[in-house]
Chains A and B, each alone.
Chain A
Amino acid sequence: MIYRSLFPRDMFSELNRLQRVLAQDFEPSPNIRGFGRGGYPALNIGGTQNSVEIYAFAPGLNPAMIEVNIDRGVLTIEGERASDLPDDDKSAVHINERFAGRFRRVVSLPDDVDPTAVEATYRDGVLRLSIRRRESALPRRIEVK
């Protein structure tokens, strides 16, 4: 059908569609792993001359239960977050917005990083990964004789 109904029957799917259309306007060619916004944990990624820095905003985790792997240039952060909601029937849950359950986020790394030189720290609920770039890839000044 070429024409869309003027009065959609399902308003929520219509809103979802609208959100996708808007997202496409801002990001005309999204990553193959999706838009990645609104997920858990939220990721901020940046780089310096010597390293690639990844910040995962992952509050409320046991650091021993966070699994970080690098395989063929792909970084995976996964783990599980327990729910803080009670399961007795004496209390009432008024708002339930926080994420609970298993999570997994995948980032493709640039080619010049050294997967054996990764530093991971977890502080105030933020996991920081610092991955060094290879020595051979660092900028170098070449002497002209």
Chain B
Amino acid sequence: MSNDVKQQDNGRRDTAVVPPVDVIEDATGITLFADLPGVGKEQLQLRVEAETLTIEGEVGVATPEGLQPSHAEVSVPRYRRVFTLSKELDPDRIAAELNHGVLNLRIPKAEHAQPRKVQIRVG
């Protein structure tokens, strides 16, 4: 019985909304914006393992007691999205900012991957 409950709990933990993102690349790195409405600084989790970046957040909206939902377009109070980074990016220098439910990540390129003009010799 308790086993069943545990499994159900795990199943619920796995369902999450995939948040919409914008990803922009320029010469020195990548900028990522993600819409995470309802997620505060304490409920946001950013993890980099090997080359995988995981963005995870819990919706922490305060609801009054005895609230009966009548219409719900956001039914899962959790966001999750996973990206694979490429090797020229520097995961140690990721900068993150959370403002009004929008996460702004800046992932710079590693020094050795910065742009360099290649000289072409005509011989």
Q: Chain A interface (Cβ within 8 Å of chain B)? A: 36-37, 39, 41-49, 51, 53, 55, 57-61, 84-86, 90-99, 122, 124-126, 128, 130
**Is B68's CB within 8 Å of the partner chain A?**
yes
- Chain B residues with a Cβ closer than 8 Å to the other chain, count: 33
Please pick, from A36, A48, A125, A130, the residue contacting B73 in the complex, using a CB distance under 8 A. Answer: A36
Known: A95-B22, A98-B35. Contact between A45 and B71, CB under 8 A? Answer: yes
Contact A43 B73 (CB under 8 A): yes
Contact B68 A48 (CB under 8 A): yes
Q: Which residues of A contact B26 (CB under 8 A)?
A: 86, 90-92
Please pick, from A51, A84, A126, the residue contacting B37 in the complex, using a CB distance under 8 A. Answer: A126
Contact A47 B68 (CB under 8 A): yes
* The 9 A-B residue pairs with the shortest CB-CB distance in the complex, in nearest-first order: A125-B101, A59-B101, A125-B37, A97-B20, A91-B26, A57-B37, A42-B73, A60-B102, A95-B23
Known: A48-B65, A51-B64, A61-B100. Contact between A124 and B39, CB under 8 A? Answer: yes
